Amino acid sequence: MPLSTLNAEQLSAATAPLGQNLIIASAGTGKTSTIVGRIAHLLQNGMDPSKILLLTFTNKAAGEMIARLERYFPKKIVSKIESGTFHAVSYRWLKELHPNLALKQPSELKTLFRSIYEKRNFERMNLPLAPFSATYLYEMYSLYQNASLEGFDEWFLEKYPEHDVIMDAYMDIVQEFEKEKIDYGFASFNDLLLRIKTYLESNTIHFEEVLVDEYQDTNTLQGALIDTLRPRSLFCVGDYDQSIYAFNGANIENIATFSTRYPEANVFTLKTNYRSTAPILSLANRVIERNERIYPKKLEVGRHGKTHPPRLLMYNDLFEQYQSIAQSIKHTHVPNDNIAVIFRNNSSADGIEASLREVGIPCKRKGGTSFFDAKEIKFLLDLLSLLVNPKDMMAFIHIFEYASGVGSALSKEFFQCFLHFGNGNFMQGVLYPVNSELPNLKPNKNVQLGLFDDDHEIGSATRFKHLDLPGNVYGHPLLKHPRIIQDGVKFFNDFYTLMNDIRAERDPAKILRTATSSKLYSGIIDMLSTQRGRLKSGEVDEEKKKLARERILRKAGLLLDLSRQYKELGRFVNAMVLGGGELSEGEGVNLLTVHASKGLEFPEVYVVDLVDGRFPNRKMMSSIEEERRLFYVAVTRAKDKLYLSLAKYDKVKKIDYKPSQFLHEAGLVKGEFVEPEPKKARKKKTAETDQ
DNA sequence: CGGTTAGGGGTTTTT
DNA sequence: CCCCTAACCG
């Protein structure tokens, strides 16, 4: 049974009485085993599994814990446990209340936000200071939703009192953004939590025990969500030294004030580290001890035997560093997937990946340009999104931007045309238009300038006659649009054919099969593979193009495989948004950001680019303490061997680097770290104004 | 000119 | 991938 493998401190935590329990679990102390043991304990004592809620930071983590429980309990019981990330669980509940919920990627919502922002004319407002850019304002708004429960204006002005004069305009943008989201039927990640919180304020979903993993990274909103759940018992597991999500509103106060908020709380500490060797742990501790100790803890080494001291690798040039690491990985006897290369920023990944490829070592990346960011996959998902939610203008715009001569503005007009042709029903407007006149596009222009008014119908009937299109496309009112050209009409014809083929189908796999074999998609494949097969000289290398084409087809096939588990199209599309980033492709050496490495462990770890400015990141650093925690997380991933590396110079960018202060703190570089003169920081957060 | 579209150069971290 | 700038259109 899972409980019999626990040590004394883990067991006393796992069998704690119902109530408020906080488990301080340092890196590698068997946190997962303790949570699994806790659930086993609850089940053994007869708790109804459907009254247990397990909240984790990634869906993968939840899946692993559930899988471990299935080794000891019948699947029928374990599957009743409610589990997943805050977002996944909220989505599951909301889907019952709002079946048409359409989850959107943050980047999409940012684009929507920007388009609203850009309608405002700040120059005309004669402002005494430059307003924040759309991007920065969006990021702040998003952070606010996670970090605060008060009004946006209050929260914002506390940070930037001088923006008082623009606050009304900011609020106006935010309000319009909220309205547009509802009009388009969109929900953001934050909306999932916000909406379920609102629901819970007047309704109850009762749980006997709620377990929260990675409690140190819960933000204020998630904290409030736990509060509104009001479970009979709470079991929170975390380590304040591993709190690394401040940028997402993670509130270390949640864990720091647990025992004052719940005076009856039990606090358990897991002290014995079974993961890393003594020298690795002592290095980690030396550094992290410079941060304030919130709860007392002292790590004890659970592993004995032969050890390798952590090694500092210092190089003269950036690429020499990557190439040398690739060589060292090539010559080690450890299997590739037992090795991780960990970095602070994704910008390190390309160089490492290229160097590994050079010597023929396979590698996989999590984050960065993921599977779902690939254009060929995004296109298919946009098609599906549009089928699920025909109000999804963003998805439509992305699809039609592939037609040559069509950009985002014209694509948007086309969408409005279809809505008009179908009396508000998009699909109707595409397939069976009831209005055959163009809508009045940009009425202000027409009225003020008297332009374009009578251009609308020019050549509409005859312009595309030679294309030999089927009658229903040839007679479609979209062809009357003055700015559609031949390629656009051909694209529309293929789009029309596909929509006609899949309009009645609801099964995700069948739709994908039709879509991937459609003429529309083969056009996309051709365009993308030609682009990717192009050499620096501009010529297309047929071999390279063929390879790109095969890669695209393989990816599309993978998406099709994923879709087979889903019966309902909407759930499939949302699942791809919700869990998409967690999928990593292929086999080989693991390339990870520190954030992505959380919760994982590897026999051999390389932490690279440990130079001042990059790690710690000095550009937009929230605090040196947080950067130190990031360093702590990175090094405590290592079980047996730890390499810390840096290069003193980047000859491509011509930048000199100094060793990271954490290497001084670790005692690997002699002497106390001296902070360099702060360079004039480029202000990126303010928008350019003409004055 | 104004509004778009298309292509080139720099990047913090995530559900 | 996001921001900027150079061509392009009516």
Task: Among all protein residues, pick the one whose CA is nearest to the C1' atom of B2.
Answer: A445
- Contact (Cβ atoms closer than 8 angstroms) between residue A530 and residue A540: yes
A680 band by pLDDT with thresholds 50, 70 and 90: very low
Backbone phi, psi, residue A369, to 5°: -80, 95
> In this predicted model, which residue has the larger pLDDT, A358 or A642?
A642
Q: Which nucleotide comes closest to A455 if you measure CA to C1'?
A: C10
Read off the pLDDT of residues A595-637 as tens digits, 9 standing for 90 and up: 989 889 999 999 999 998 888 887 766 788 999 999 999 999 9
Dist CA A239 CA A299 (whole Å): 12
A33 band by pLDDT with thresholds 50, 70 and 90: very high
Strand partners, A82: A53
| Token couple for A334 | 């450890």
- For residue A515, pLDDT over 60 is answered with yes
DSSP for A113-137, please give it: HHHHHHHS-SGGGT-SSPPBPHHHH
| pLDDT score at A581 | 63
Mean pLDDT across chain A: 86
Q: How far is the CA of A409 from the C1' of B6 (A)?
A: 14
- For β-strands A602-607 and A638-647, DSSP reports them as parallel
| pLDDT score at A446 | 37
- For residue A684, pLDDT over 50 is answered with no
Q: How far is the CA of A669 from the C1' of C8 (A)?
A: 57
> What percent of chain A has pLDDT above 90?
52
Backbone phi, psi, residue A315, to 5°: -125, 165
Angle in degrees, 0-180, between the axes of helices A508-516 and A486-502, rounded to the nearest 10 = 150
Judge whether residue A619 contacts strand B, using its CB and a 7 Å cut-off. yes
Dist CA A222 CA A227 (whole Å): 9
| Token couple for A433 | 């238009």
Q: Which nucleotide comes closest to A577 if you measure CA to C1'?
A: B15
A441 band by pLDDT with thresholds 50, 70 and 90: low
Read off the pLDDT of residues A618-627 as tens digits, 9 standing for 90 and up: 776 678 899 9
Judge whether residue A56 contacts strand B, using its CB and a 7 Å cut-off. no
| pLDDT score at A367 | 56
- Long-range contact pairs involving A178-184 (C-beta distance under 8 Å, separation at least 24): A180/A112, A180/A116, A181/A109, A181/A112, A183/A391, A184/A102, A184/A112, A184/A389, A184/A391, A184/A392, A184/A393, A184/A394
Picking from A262-266, A452-456, A662-666, which range would have the lowest pLDDT averaged per residue? A452-456
Read off the pLDDT of residues A252-285 as tens digits, 9 standing for 90 and up: 899 999 999 999 999 999 999 999 999 999 999 9
Annotated binding site of A for ATP: 25-32
Chain B: nucleotides below 7 Å from protein CB are: 3-6, 11-15
Picking from A282-291, A388-397, A434-443, which range would have the lowest pLDDT averaged per residue? A434-443
Judge whether residue A596 contacts strand B, using its CB and a 7 Å cut-off. yes
Tell me the average pLDDT across A551-566. 89
- Contact (Cβ atoms closer than 8 angstroms) between residue A52 and residue A209: yes
- For residue A663, pLDDT over 90 is answered with yes
- For residue A679, pLDDT over 50 is answered with no
A99 band by pLDDT with thresholds 50, 70 and 90: confident
